Chains A and B, each alone.
Chain A
Amino acid sequence: MSEPQTLIDKLWAAHEIVRREDGEALLWVDRHYVHEGSFHAFTRLAERGVGVAEPGLTFGVADHYVPTRGSRQEIANPEIARMVRQVEENTAKHGVKLFGLDDPRQGIVHVVGPEQGLTLPGLLIVCGDSHTSTHGALGAYAFGIGASEVAHVLMTQTIWQRKPRRMRITVDGRLAPGIVAKDIALGIIAKIGADGATSHGIEFAGSAIRGLTVEGRLTLCNMSIEAGARCGMIAPDATTFAYLKGRPYAPDGADFDRAVEAWSELTTDDDASFDREVDLTAPEIAPIVTWGTSPEHALPIDASVPDPAREGDEARARYLREALDYMGIAPGKKLTDIAVDRVFIGSCTNSRIEDLRAAAAVLAGRTSKVPGLVSAGSSLVKRQAEEEGLDRIFRDAGLEWGESGCSMCVGINGDLVAPGERCASTTNRNFRGRQGPGARTHLMSPAMVAAAAVTGHLADVRPLLAGRKV
């Protein structure tokens, strides 16, 4: 009998073309997503005078630089217009399908891939973006790569990799009402650290994970990289298959049934061993927000920020002090006493229809005390939200309803948080200056951002949900 295998082992083995004695393997790439930021790689192709090896397995989106406000046909900022034009030209030149600004399916690459059924269980997926780990939610082996690797994949449809160590994070039990995937993700990072999963692939398992919708799973796998993981994944199951059925690029009819048969094999065998196991108890997870400049600076909303003076280790005290100084927060302050200046709902982490519904459920009939922007994860999500009347709820609350793109998560399209401003955000990185030079970011779930909006400070969303249908 063969050795029991983990899901990571099975996905890896299915893509191995060559394994060298030194342990490096050449892997076949099933899907390659490119965006405006992939221009370095296309330049490399032009320099070598070569084409894209598998244009049919390569898909482009315009997401990182696209405006969410103002005209998208005639982009006012010439540099941004050039970035968008560049991805249009590069994909057209190489016969690569682009979900560009004139396409109703345009959106953030990590939203569009699953939405279109391009992302499937069992696939190996790469993209020049660290949040490519998102796609593991459907049982894919998906990871972010740099520009040189993007060029290599474009030219060969393969990539050299060393197999990561395997980590299983098991979350068992029932989540308390109002607790969502973002809370699980931040809870994990707070527990294991921003480098807790470095050089590991993560499989998320346990009853609380099984109970997540695909949207929730995408949020969780998206944040794997914030724990340093190479990739994060969840074994495909009935929830996955139901989500994929009927998606435009997914197999259909008898092909779909045959695919489901194959995908059903993609689970970790009983008795398979992992290099590291981490357990969380679902009922103990509270709504979590970040207070500092790393996603590991995360605490339950009823906590207070650390007081470096009470920290025994000098290096650790300095680390905490620097984060608090940047964030402009007094040591030991209660999280719920921290006032916010702005809110943002969007990004590849939390911009899917379920995320918008969760925020709207809190905002309905209420007014935001601070300005804010809502940017749907894709133009299709935007349309659906409008059909459900969610855009009205956001607008009536005083928030701006923008077009789809990476927007204020990374700020390169011009959607910035001003220096010194504090933003409650559904995004993935609270790094210094991430949302703009001097900007201060607090990460949390969409409903928690909505709670910050209506109260004007970091707040527990649960009391605000009393008597509401969510």
Chain B
Amino acid sequence: MDKFTRLTATACPLDVTNLNTDQLVPARYLKWPRSADMGKVLLHDLRFDADGKERSDFPLNRPAWRDAKIMVGARNFGCGSSREAAVYALYDFGIRCVIAPSFGDIFSGNAVQNGLLLAAVTEAEAAEIMATLSATPDLPLTVDLEQQTILCGNRSYTFSIDPVRRMRLLNGWDDLALTDSFRGQILAFKTSDKARRPWVTPRSAT
């Protein structure tokens, strides 16, 4: 997993409350293997019309934000389905950080697994950043994970993130390596748990 420390890039505002993962990647693309470029279908049904033509008024299609690496969203970003492809689509498109007031829980877990930073700010701050970007689309944002700050023009905002997830992103840590270091404890738990909760074992059936 790639590390995240500091990023300066253009940022696309997407003021959609409850932007669910069905919007981030429609279900019909979930059959694609991870090797496919899911960025092509990011926000597909909002980005393209029924004939597959770009909707010119959609933020991600505007010239200034086509190569955005940061997205600024509204409350409950990434709610809904557990599809990790929602994160793959953002990541493959080039997005490395989403700034929003709140995020879906499962989406948040998926993001950290893939090196995507989710930076939480207040609703007022998100609205203010989006307003600034709408007025000055080319203005790059600087997101600093060590400092937990977002620099937007002459304004600086502090964002919150779970400290564990922050460390994982900063170091590019993988869950599995960490879990492996607890192999002894897992085995001990398994053994004592069998005695403690014998009813957990599924009754054998065919």
A117 to B45, CA, bound (A): 40
Q: Is A438 an interface residue (CB 8 A)?
A: yes
A40 touches B84 (CB 8 A): yes
9-residue interface stretch from B65-73, B89-97, B146-154, B175-183? B175-183
Q: Is B155 an interface residue (CB 8 A)?
A: no
B45 touches A432 (CB 8 A): yes
Within 8 A of A (CB), among B17-56: 17-18, 20, 22-23, 26-28, 30-31, 33-34, 45, 50
Q: Can you list, as one digit per residue, whether each of A11-39 has a CB less than 8 Å from chain B (1) or not (0)?
A: 00010011010111010101100000100
- The answer to whether A250 and B76 touch (CB under 8 A), given A28-B189, A148-B113, is no
A437 to B50, CA, bound (A): 8
9-residue interface stretch from A214-222, A251-259, A280-288, A301-309? A251-259
Give B181's nearest chain A residue, CB to CB. Answer: A18
Contacts of A122 in B (CB 8 A): 197, 199-200
Tally of chain A residues near chain B (CB < 8 A)? 77
Contacts of B182 in A (CB 8 A): 17-18, 26
B23 touches A432 (CB 8 A): yes
A147 to B30, CA, bound (A): 12
Q: How far is the CB of B66 from chain A (nearest CB, A)?
A: 23
A194 touches B202 (CB 8 A): no
Which of B79, B114, B167, B197 is the most central at the interface, judged by chain A CB atoms within 10 Å of its CB? B79
Q: Is A433 an interface residue (CB 8 A)?
A: yes
Option from A22, A30, A116, A228 in Cβ contact (under 8 Å) with B104: A228
A458 to B127, CA, bound (A): 36
Contacts of B105 in A (CB 8 A): 164, 198-199, 228-230
Q: Is A389 an interface residue (CB 8 A)?
A: no
Q: How far is the CB of A27 from chain B (nearest CB, A)?
A: 10
Option from B26, B50, B102 in Cβ contact (under 8 Å) with A195: B102
Q: Is A123 an interface residue (CB 8 A)?
A: yes
- The answer to whether A249 and B203 touch (CB under 8 A), given A130-B106, A146-B106, A431-B22, is yes
- The answer to whether A147 and B84 touch (CB under 8 A), given A152-B175, A156-B179, A228-B79, is yes
A262 touches B193 (CB 8 A): no
B200 touches A123 (CB 8 A): yes
Option from B30, B34, B164, B189 in Cβ contact (under 8 Å) with A412: B30
B22 touches A432 (CB 8 A): yes
Q: Is A319 an interface residue (CB 8 A)?
A: yes
Q: Is B109 an interface residue (CB 8 A)?
A: yes
A17 touches B84 (CB 8 A): no
Contacts of A147 in B (CB 8 A): 84-85, 110
Q: Can you list, as one digit per residue, whether each of A404-422 has a CB less than 8 Å from chain B (1) or not (0)?
A: 0000001110000001000
B203 touches A251 (CB 8 A): yes
Q: How far is the CB of B190 from chain A (nearest CB, A)?
A: 7
Contacts of B87 in A (CB 8 A): 146
Within 8 A of B (CB), among A128-169: 128-130, 143-149, 152, 155-158, 160, 162, 164
Contacts of A211 in B (CB 8 A): none
A26 touches B176 (CB 8 A): no
A260 to B28, CA, bound (A): 43
Contacts of A118 in B (CB 8 A): 202
Within 8 A of B (CB), among A313-331: 315, 319, 322
Give A128's nearest chain B residue, CB to CB. Answer: B82
Contacts of B202 in A (CB 8 A): 31, 56-57, 118, 249
Give A83's nearest chain B residue, CB to CB. Answer: B31
A22 touches B22 (CB 8 A): no
Contacts of A128 in B (CB 8 A): 82
Option from B22, B164, B179, B189 in Cβ contact (under 8 Å) with A152: B179
User: Can you give 11 contacting A-B residue pairs, CB < 8 Å?
Assistant: A18-B182, A22-B163, A31-B202, A43-B34, A143-B106, A148-B175, A160-B178, A199-B105, A293-B18, A433-B26, A438-B50
Q: A24-B164, A156-B179 are in contact. List 11 more A-B contacts (CB 8 A).
A: A56-B201, A83-B31, A130-B106, A149-B110, A195-B76, A251-B199, A251-B203, A255-B198, A411-B27, A431-B80, A434-B22
